[in-house]
Amino acid sequence: MSYFVGVICMALLALVLRDPLPSASLAARIPWWSWSGGLFGAIFIGLAILLVPQLGAATFIALLVTGQMLAAVTFDHFGWLGLAQRPIDATRLIGVALLIGGVVLIRR
């Protein structure tokens, strides 16, 4: 039910703001990975619904933050999505290890 309320609120906001829909030519120029936000958002909500009752909120959030940080370090290392390359060094590896250790401690 809460997702239905969210959809109604977003529809009302769209009506109030009266932003026009983008043209097809503009939509075609958007990078392919920009469209992934909606898909990944839906996957995140679905996983949260399934996993929070099983893992607990603290473990779920710890895994979420750790996963995001691991992805960020990877994106930095390879320079993906137009980011400046920042190689993985010992300090970053220690940070990754501490993040994983934190998840293990929270999960206990």
- Determine, yes or no, domain membership for 14: no
Summarize pLDDT for 52-107 with one digit per residue, the tens: 999 999 999 999 999 999 999 999 999 998 999 999 999 999 999 999 999 999 99
What is the reported pLDDT for 35? 85
What is the reported pLDDT for 89? 95
- Determine, yes or no, domain membership for 28: no
Total domains, the chain: 1
Domain around 66: 48-108
Summarize pLDDT for 7-58 with one digit per residue, the tens: 899 889 989 998 888 888 988 898 888 888 888 988 998 899 999 999 999 9
pLDDT classification of 2: cutoffs 50, 70, 90: low
- Determine, yes or no, domain membership for 4: no
- Determine, yes or no, domain membership for 18: no
- Determine, yes or no, domain membership for 76: yes
- Determine, yes or no, domain membership for 70: yes
DSSP string covering 15-77, please?
HHHTPPPPPHHHHHHS-GGGGHHHHHHHHHHHHHHHHHHHH-HHHHHHHHHHHHHHHHHHHHH
